[in-house]
Amino acid sequence: MRFHALAAVLTGASLALAGYTSPASDQTVVITQSDGLKHSVDRAMVEQLPAVQEHILFLTGHGPEQENFTGGLLWSVLEHVRALGGDRGTRIRRAIMVTGRDGYAAVLAVAEIDPDFEGKQVLLAYRQNGKLIPLRLVVPGDRYGGRSVRDVVRIELR
């Protein structure tokens, strides 16, 4: 019995050292607009949006990987909090920076996800291969997974 308790403690400690965070239902993402307005979006809100599934193939330093992600469209999340204001001419000049809990960040042009332009199906994913995960930015079509931001905590519109 003591062995199992020790194993559980060691597993928990090793996960903590590895920077693991559980896909807790209380995960919150702060969305900041260029005018300083802030919005908070929680995981439950993202899960209430229409679910979109994407099969992603990307290259890594260890070779190609394939994953299935499910989540809400980033465009829909930003629309939900009314962070996208402006006409097409304004939106085409804007950028989005998405930052993870570890400080890793990636940038997208608003026009990439705008249905009036490219309309790319960029996700804030909450499932990977059917398993719950912390919210993750998933950018279909990228050859490398460099814009895949894990455990998203902040989205800034510039």
Question: In whole angstroms, what is the distance from residue 42 CA to residue 2 CA?
Answer: 38
Name the residue ranges covered by the structural domains of the chain. Answer: 25-157
Question: In whole angstroms, what is the distance from residue 37 CA to residue 27 CA?
Answer: 20
pLDDT given at position 46: 97
What's 25-157's CATH class?
alpha beta
Cβ neighbours, 10 Å, residue 158: 12
pLDDT given at position 55: 96
Q: What is the pTM of this model?
A: 0.82
Asked if 96 contacts 114 with a C-beta cutoff of 8 angstroms, the reply is no
Question: In whole angstroms, what is the distance from residue 27 CA to residue 34 CA?
Answer: 23
Q: Which residues of the chain carry a pLDDT beneath 70?
A: 1-25
pLDDT given at position 9: 38
Closest to 124 measured CA to CA, from 158, 87, 152:
152
